[in-house]
Chain A
């Protein structure tokens, strides 16, 4: 049971570099999410996709873009990484947006130097 798979698990970037975080789920869920988690703060929603073909901004979207490639995959892109984007990133999915139980991937630990 893979559930939600994120790659990579760790990444170090230099300021200004770009990268894409990948996320895939095998639970046939309609909704997918990207969060970041910083020390002393709860998870904050970056972007979400209620269903295939739609994406919407969350609480902290600045500096990020997303693509819902198909029903299974939802990627997060940092076009020009900044030290403030050093964080742990979690992808999650749920059956539908209103059925709220979310299942999380193992996370990506990103450091921007």
Chain B
């Protein structure tokens, strides 16, 4: 079993749609959780950290469920510019980060 699992997609949605991605992780001792965004052939960039209480940043909402060991990302009112790969990231042993393989989102006009 992979330490961090994501549905690779692609998720094809029209502009204005709401889309949600889930990610599961195997290490119950993980303490830090993130969503990174990666555009085609570019480097990953931090989208947002994920907190136990849930957090929102504009159109993006992240949730953490420690009991079930999953993380979610909700994008409302999708824009063409949201098209990218979204990486679920979880802290592992020694503070290192474990990256999921990513979920690809394509927003269509």
Q: Which A residues are closer than 8 A to B by beta carbons?
A: 33, 35, 40-45, 48, 58, 90, 97-98, 100-107
B101 touches A41 (CB 8 A): yes
A104 touches B44 (CB 8 A): yes
Question: Quick check: is B22 within 8 A (CB to CB) of the other chain?
Answer: no
Which of the residues B41, B97, B101 comes within 8 Å of A102, measured between beta carbons?
B97
B96 touches A104 (CB 8 A): no
Q: Mark B1-43, 1 if CB is under 8 A from A, else 0.
A: 0001000100000000000000000000000101000000111
A97 touches B8 (CB 8 A): no
11 chain-A/chain-B pairs, Cβ below 8 angstroms:
A40-B101, A41-B101, A44-B99, A48-B96, A100-B32, A101-B34, A102-B97, A103-B46, A104-B45, A106-B42, A107-B43
Interface of A (DSSP majority class): loop
A43 touches B99 (CB 8 A): yes
A41 and B102 alpha carbons, distance in the complex (Å): 8
A36 and B32 alpha carbons, distance in the complex (Å): 22
Question: Quick check: is B95 within 8 A (CB to CB) of the other chain?
Answer: yes
User: What A residues does B96 contact at CB under 8 A?
Assistant: 33, 45, 48, 58, 97
User: What B residues does A40 contact at CB under 8 A?
Assistant: 8, 101
Nearest Cβ distance between residue B100 and chain A, in whole angstroms? 5
A104 and B89 alpha carbons, distance in the complex (Å): 14
Question: Quick check: is B109 within 8 A (CB to CB) of the other chain?
Answer: no
Given contacts A42-B102, A45-B96, A90-B43, contact A100 B34 (CB under 8 A): yes
B85-108 contacts to A (CB < 8 Å): 87, 91, 94-102
